[in-house]
Each structure stands twice: as C-alpha cells, then as structure tokens.
Structure 1
Amino acid sequence: MTVVAMVSVAPVIEDSMAGEVAKAVAALDDFDVSYETNPMGTVIEAADVETLLDAVGAAHRAVDGDRVSTVVKIDDKRTVETSADAKVESVEDHLGHPARSDR
C-alpha cells in the first residue's frame, strides 16, 4: 500500500463524540483499506488515492449532525511502496528506541 492518510471525523457537538466517531470508523470496513484509530484520529492505508478518498467520504457521511468536521492529511508516495508501520519504524531507527514514552 502506498497511500497513507490521517483522518479525523467528528460532529460539532458539546457532548461525547465517541458514538459518532465509531460510526465513521465502522464505515471504513466497507472498503479495501487498513486502519488504526488513535486518540487524535485514524490512520488509513489504501492501494490508491481513489479508494482512500471513497473510504474517507463514507466515514464523513456516516456521522450524524447538523455540522460535521473532517480533516484529512494524505501522503501519496508514488515512487516507493511503503506502509504506515514502515514510516514509524524509520523514525524509531533514527531515535534508537520506540517512538513512545512510558509516561
């Protein structure tokens, strides 16, 4: 997979967004993508940008509300096959330890 994105989809509401965010994440299951959700968003990997954008659009549409905010950052590395894990491993190689703390 060569297209990696970070996406955050959320309704603009005062209460907990967890239920609506879960709907957005669940929508990704209908697409040929892999994903991992973290506290600030979801990292998605897809074979091509079209598949990625279709999945992000479905995630956006899955959230109910009068106003929905979606932020997407795409890394479309076209000359080398890579993955989100490989990107983290590269940073860890430079750090000399895992890219996380025990705090």
Structure 2
Amino acid sequence: MTVVALLSVAPVRKGSLAEDVADAVAALDAFDVSYETNPMGTVIEADDIGTLFDAVEAAHRAVDADRVSTALKIDDKRASDAPAAEKVEGVEDALGRPARGSPDED
C-alpha cells in the first residue's frame, strides 16, 4: 500500500461521540483499505489516493449530524510500497524497544 492517512471524523456537539465515530469507521469496510483506530483518529492505508478519498468521503458522510468536523493528514509514498507498520518498526529499532509506554508500567 502506498497512501497512509490519519483521519478524524466527529460531530460537533457535547456528549459521547462513540456511536458517531463507530459509524464513520464502519463505513471504511466498504473500501479496499486497511485501518486501525486509536484514541486520536483512524490510520488508513490504501493502494491509491482515489480509493483513500472515496473511503474518507464515506466516513465523513456516515456521521449523521448537523455539523461534522473532519481532519485528514496524508502521506502519499509514491516511490515506495512499504506499509505504515514499517514506519513504526523504524522508530522501534531506533528506540531499541516497542514504541509504546504506560505510566503504569514498571
């Protein structure tokens, strides 16, 4: 896959956004993309920019609200087919450990 993006879609309102975010994430299933949701958004990988944009539009439209905020950051790796996981692996190699931590860890 060559296009990696960080997507955040949410209604602009008070209260829990979980149901609306779930609708946006579920909309991605209709497209040939892989994704992983985290507390700050959803990382999406696609083979091409057109597929990515179609998936993002569907996720945006899946949120049924009077006002929807969508943020998108794209890394279009045109000279490489390396997956996003390689970016994390590079950081972990440099750290010499997994790239995650917790204040509860010993």
| TM-score, reference length from structure 1 | 0.98
The alignment yields a C-alpha RMSD, in angstroms, of 0.6
User: 5+ unaligned residues in a row in structure 1: which ranges?
Assistant: none
User: 5+ unaligned residues in a row in structure 2: which ranges?
Assistant: none
C-alpha distance after superposition, 1:52-98 (max 9, x if no partner): 01000000000011100000000001001111111100111111111
Identity of aligned residues (%): 70
Task: Find the residue that maps to 1:13 and give its secondary structure.
Answer: coil
Report the equivalent of 1:47.
47
Report the equivalent of 1:76.
76
Counterpart CA distance in 1 for 2:41 and 2:102 is 21
| TM-score, reference length from structure 2 | 0.95
Counterpart CA distance in 2 for 1:15 and 1:83 is 35
Counterpart CA distance in 1 for 2:64 and 2:102 is 36
What is the deviation of 1:16? 0.4
- Please state if 1:65 is matched with 2:65: yes
**Which has the larger displacement, 39-48 or 76-85?**
76-85
What is the deviation of 1:102? 3.0
**Which has the larger displacement, 43-52 or 77-86?**
77-86
Report the equivalent of 1:23.
23
Counterpart CA distance in 2 for 1:2 and 1:93 is 22
